[in-house]
Structures are given as structure tokens and as C-alpha cells.
Structure 1
Amino acid sequence: MSAKLIFSDIDDTLINDDLQVTPKTRDAIRKQIIKGNIFVPTSARLPKGMMTAVGQILKVCPLIAYNGALALDETGRALVTRFFDAKKAAEICRYVDEQDNSSAWNIYSGYVWYCAEKKSPRVEHEEKIVDVKATPASIEKIVKLQGVHKALIMGEPEDLDRMQKELIAKFPDLSFVRSSKILLEVVLKGVSKASAVKILAQEYKVPLKDCIAFGDNYNDEEMLEEVGHPYLMGNAPVDLQKKFGSDHITLDNNHDGIAQVLDDLE
């Protein structure tokens, strides 16, 4: 098998728990690039936050950000950009503020990450992970944005379980999917990593059957189903591992799961 497009999630997939791309994984990816294959990081992060991790491998590449709401080629040209209404984003912010818990809202528009004026410890923790600072903003400012690529709600797992159900009923034209137990991602209905993967495969004229993808969580599920060679990390939820089967499970993100697969490619 020779992968021509290599799609990879970042958190808990490309990087280990220390937020690093290990030398073994870095070198395995670089070898594939030297062979003429194309590496495409695919993440819920904003573009600048993606390059915090991807920059450990290479400085220029196509990328899929915001769970597929924004995709750029290696020159920075937008191949996909799908917004939802800023008024709906503001409604989500108000909903989160009304909850009697520690949940925090985040809004992403273009290259800017907005958070509440009183910055939550959860937001400060995320800033350290992605090495990007959020911009404090009022909900009145959020309403005036031209559009929103993604909203993100941070919270305790049991709070997000309830909130996810309520928000799905309240906003049927939006998609709510977990990228981790404590993160609930919000994008326009129909937006997914899979939808962006299809567009990039067309752009680079590579059949989906010749694409390989790596992921670890529910927001990667459709992407993995879309490509011919899907691989789920060993640290993925057990139910996803059962769904994809042992032939499509690699080592976890702390043990070079990506390198294990790429080093075996012809």
C-alpha cells in the first residue's frame, strides 16, 4: 500500500501526552513526504494552534481546521470555509453562561479565538496546550461577527452530556460532537473532517481509497470511515475500537502509533 494523502488528527493522535511529536513519528512522516506523499493535519484546533504541533515536523502544508469548517492548501488559499450565524453563536454563549456549572464557551471566527471577558481556568489551560492566546470578548461583540467557524464548550463530562442533548434539540441546523470527554465542538450541520477530506482529495486528485487517516475520537469517526485506510489510535474509546476492528487499530499516541503504520507502507 502506498498512501498518497495522509490525514492526521493532532491531539492524542499526532502528539503525545507531553504535547510533542516524537522523533520517531516526525521522521516517519518526513519520509513519506520525501516519497512525494502529502501530509494533511486535520484538527478541531484553529490554524495557528495547529502549527504549534505541526511546526515540529514541517513549516508549510495543507491543513483542515475547526473540524472541517476551514481547509487551506499549502499556500494558505482557502479550499473550504463554512460559517454559521453569529447570532446563534451568541445564543450558545448565553446558554452556557446560564448554566450553574464551570462550563466555558469559546468562539472561533477566521483566525481569532474569542472567550468570555472573565477568562475561565479551562480556557487558560487550553491556551497552554495550543500555545495561542484567546481574545476576551463580550457576547455583544460575538453577535457582530460576520460568521463563526466553530464554537467550543468546555466542561465536566456529565454537564456536557446533558448540554449536548439540550443543544441538539435547540439548534437542529448545527452539529454537536465530542472531541474529548471535556470538549463539545459546534459547527454548521454537514461540516465534518470527512467533508473536508473529500474536498482535499479532489483538489489533489487522489482517490479516497488511496488515502490514509489517523484519529482517536468521535469527531474523527466520519473521516476514518471516508478513507480507504483508516487507523484508530490505541488510546481511542473502546466502543470506537470495537467498531473499526483490530486490523485498524495502531499503538497509542505515546507509543508512536502513526509511525508504526507509516513505517510499514511500501
Structure 2
Amino acid sequence: MTSASESSLPARPRLIATDLDGTLLRDDKTVSERTVAALADAEEAGIEVFFVTGRPARWMGVVSDHVHRHGLAICANGAVVVDLHGGGELVKVRGLDRGAALDVVQALRDAAPGTVFAVETTGSFNYEPEYPPFIDDPGAHVAPAEKLLQEAGDGAGDAVVKLLAFHPTLTPDGFLTLARTTAGHLASFTRSSPTALLEVSGLGVSKASTLALCCAERGISSDEVVAFGDMPNDVEMLEWAGTSYAMGNAHPDVIAAASGRTVANNEDGVAVIIERLIARVRAQRPDAS
């Protein structure tokens, strides 16, 4: 299943922006050989590839082996830009003010009792005692969010890039709506988990806004960008890009936001579209027969 006509593809795309989990990655968190080949072909054709994800920078090992000339990742929903070629060097940080984060914590505790929190910084991941166990970061500091957000203590010099809020009984979309209504003036709220787990960034920080900044620095317009995603944290990016695709497994809001649709992540939906793009680019070359 793919939709959107060939004429909707940009004549000469300059950048591909793709989400990872549920989009570029298969459900087993691998990148298929077909997708690896498609990314390499895009680079050979002179098209940059940005990985745009909610993942923290330290979780980019899933794709770091598959980067060639690009090597740029927009992580933590736009809060961090990482040069994967430079050993994970942070080239841009758009943090969440600790005072604003504390205000969000208080607002959600009042509006949705039972909410528990975790704090993602540029150098660590820490969480409250009631937060679901997090096996990927066994060295995390466990304490109330108010203490984790204090300036004193380990990692206090690190910028807060994301606050996570989990509720054990609310529906995911219902919790997101409640949070935006209650505290949307304090920070940016989105989600990418099938559970009621919200991701909170600095006000105005999103995949879309950071992607726009990075493209502006390179003289790339939105019309020259092709984007892929599957969850609500991809919506703004898909709306911003001149051409965008919702995965076959995408959330309904993502399908509504995208200009086209491809097959599911387990069917290499990103590779399917990249292959079409590359075939079109090659056909336009003067030496094409």
C-alpha cells in the first residue's frame, strides 16, 4: 500500500527526514538490508538523510553503523542534534528550563493524580520510585522529580532535554489532551509510546522546529524535504515537510497530517519510497538513457 502520486514527489529532493522506531526500524529494532541499501543510494544521489527521533543521543547505536556522509541525528524530539560521525558530539541543545519543568510537574500532579515522572538530561536518565522500571539505564538516580530537577546534585550541570510523565490508568491520547490543556503554556507535549507516557520539551521545541533550523542552516527549504513518521510526535514534522509519508502502522493523527502513505515499518515502507525517489532522480540525469 502506497498512496500519493508520482507527481507529488519533489523533482529534486535534498533531504530525507525519518523517524526511527515504528518507521525506519522494524519491530525488532533492526534496520533491514533493503533499507540500508536505500539510505546508501540516497547519499550517492546527493540527498542528505537526517534521523529524527524521540530517542536520546545515547540510543543511536541502532543506526550509527549505517551512516555514511550524513551522520546527523535530531534526538529527544528536537532537543538535541548529534553528529554521529563525531562520536556522538552534541552540536545543538534546546533544553527544557528546570523551573518550567517543575511547574509542569506540579500542574500534572494536580490535574492527574498518580502521574509519575522521569528526567532526561544530556548526560543521564533519572526517575521517580514509582516510574516503570527502566532496564536500559541501570545507573539511573531514583528520587522525586522535584529533587531530580534541583540544580544541586549529580548531573546538575547537564541540560534537561526531556521530562517524561507516565500515568497508569489514563488513555494515551486522553492524557496528552489533558496535559496540553493544563500546561501547554509551559512546555511542549507529545507522545510516541502506546502507553500513557508523555514526552515534555521546552516550549516551541519539536522535531519540526529543530529540523527547520537545521535545514535553514543548509539553505534547504521545506519543499525539498521528504519526511516519514508513525506517531503523534511526528505530526508537526510531517506537516512542515513539503512531502511526507505516514507508515502503514501509523497513528490516525499521523495519517491525517501526512501528504502520502506508505506500507508498514516491517515491510520497509521508508525504503519503498526512497527507491521511487532515487529512480526519479536518476532518470533526470543528463546521461540517463
Same fold (TM over 0.5): yes
- Describe how 1:1-266 pairs up with structure 2 within 5 A: 1-49=11-59, 51-58=60-67, 61-73=71-83, 74-75=85-86, 78-90=90-102, 92=104, 104-117=116-129, 120-121=132-133, 123-124=134-135, 127=136, 133=138, 135-138=140-143, 139=145, 140-144=147-151, 145-146=156-157, 147-156=159-168, 158-161=170-173, 163-171=175-183, 172-182=185-195, 183-244=197-258, 248-265=260-277, 266=281
SS in 1 for 2:101: helix
Letter in 2 for 1:237: H
On the 8 A contact 1:118/1:136 being kept in 2, the answer is no
Deviations 1:32-77 (Å, cap 9, x if unpaired)?
122222211001110011x122124127711101111112345456
On the 8 A contact 2:56/2:76 being kept in 1, the answer is yes
Assess, with a 3 A threshold, how the Cα gap between structure 1 residues 208 and 239 changes in structure 2: closer, same or farther.
Answer: closer
Q: Structure 2 CA distance, aligned partners of 1:243 and 1:68? A: 19
On the 8 A contact 1:117/1:136 being kept in 2, the answer is no
Q: When the two structures are aligned, how many residues end up with a matched partner?
A: 255
Letter in 1 for 2:161: H
SS in 2 for 1:190: coil
Q: Structure 1 CA distance, aligned partners of 2:117 and 2:270? A: 32
Deviations 1:200-225 (Å, cap 9, x if unpaired)?
11222222211111111111111111
SS in 2 for 1:135: coil
Assess, with a 3 A threshold, how the Cα gap between structure 1 residues 166 and 212 changes in structure 2: closer, same or farther.
Answer: closer
Q: Structure 2 CA distance, aligned partners of 1:201 and 1:41? A: 13
Letter in 2 for 1:187: S
CA-CA distance at 1:5 after TM superposition: 1.3
Q: Structure 2 CA distance, aligned partners of 1:134 and 1:10? A: 25
SS in 2 for 1:230: strand
Q: Structure 2 CA distance, aligned partners of 1:26 and 1:78? A: 24
Letter in 1 for 2:231: N
TM-score by length of 1: 0.83
CA-CA distance at 1:193 after TM superposition: 0.8
Q: Structure 1 CA distance, aligned partners of 2:199 and 2:218? A: 28
Letter in 1 for 2:44: I
RMSD: 2.7
Assess, with a 3 A threshold, how the Cα gap between structure 1 residues 180 and 64 changes in structure 2: closer, same or farther.
Answer: same
Q: Greater CA deviation, 216-225 or 155-164?
A: 155-164
Identity among equivalent positions (%) equals 27
On the 8 A contact 2:131/2:166 being kept in 1, the answer is no
Q: Greater CA deviation, 73-82 or 212-221?
A: 73-82
Assess, with a 3 A threshold, how the Cα gap between structure 1 residues 197 and 142 changes in structure 2: closer, same or farther.
Answer: same
Q: Structure 1 CA distance, aligned partners of 2:28 and 2:165? A: 23
SS in 1 for 2:12: coil
Q: Greater CA deviation, 72-81 or 224-233?
A: 72-81
CA-CA distance at 1:191 after TM superposition: 0.8
On the 8 A contact 2:126/2:148 being kept in 1, the answer is no
SS in 1 for 2:267: coil
On the 8 A contact 1:107/1:152 being kept in 2, the answer is yes
CA-CA distance at 1:185 after TM superposition: 1.0
